Amino acid sequence: MPIGFPSPTGRGVRGEGDRITLSIPNLKQAHAYLDNANQLNPGPWYSHSKFVAEGAKLIAEHHSDLDPDAAYILGLLHDIGRRCGVTSMRHVIDGYNFLRDEGYEGAARICMTHSFPVKDSRMVFGAWDCSADELKLVDDYLASIEYDDYDRLLQLCDTLALPSGFCLMEKRFVDVALRYGVSEHTPPKWKKYLELKDYFDQKIGGSIYSVLPKVVENTFGVQ
């Protein structure tokens, strides 16, 4: 199916308690999507997604403007494009298209934004295995939106979770670099992730690592 992005305006509306209401599936449906995707393309991305979801929820519980349950669901689904097979950066497009076609534009958006703490399609780990027209649509989409704290939170949590659990983001940096290599775009992307950590440290009034379980064990291999 050709990729085509609708206007991203009106992503969310402020509701009671100044919470952001997102177009996302409920928890049961999100788990069903994730489990089905794992059947189609099993891999370590599945357990990674569960840890991203847990981390997003734990951090959101200490953030006054985020809904922990919504954050958890978005974490479960951020890599749902992996359902289409073993691909590289194409998974952001496949995930967006899948959830958009299911009627969940808010969750679809996270599929697109979670890989881009910097709005620049050159700043990726991996290759763009898509057409030039599809890549242009990614750039156009990113340029047309303003990130909110759900976008930022899932970008952060994506770099805090190994398939085995939470770790210092620097360990995740090395993990990804060993698999995909580095380029001149890698340092500014890492810098942006570190800025996101500082941002959420301030938002929750302490270190994000203090709310994530077993960071020391997973980072340093201690029991």
Token duo for residue 85: 């097979």
Domains and CATH numbers, the chain: 18-220 (1.10.3210)
Name the pairing type of β-strands 20-21 and 13-14.
antiparallel
The one-letter code for the residue type at 145 is: I
User: Element (H or E) spanning 13, and its range?
Assistant: strand 13-14
Describe the crossing of helices 186-204 and 169-180 by its angle, rounded to 10 degrees.
160
In this predicted structure, what is the pLDDT of residue 221? 84
> Radius of gyration over alpha carbons of the chain, in Å?
16
| pLDDT < 50 regions, the chain | 1-21
In this predicted structure, what is the pLDDT of residue 22? 61
Return the ∠ at Cα 193 (arms to 105 and 120), rounded to 5°: 60
Count Cβ atoms below 10 Å from residue 14 Cβ, excluding itself: 10
In this predicted structure, what is the pLDDT of residue 223? 66
Q: What is the pTM of this model?
A: 0.89
80 and 37 in contact (C-beta within 8 Å)?
yes
In this predicted structure, what is the pLDDT of residue 107? 96
- From the number of C-beta atoms within 10 Å of its C-beta (0-12, 13-18, 19+), residue 185 rates as middle
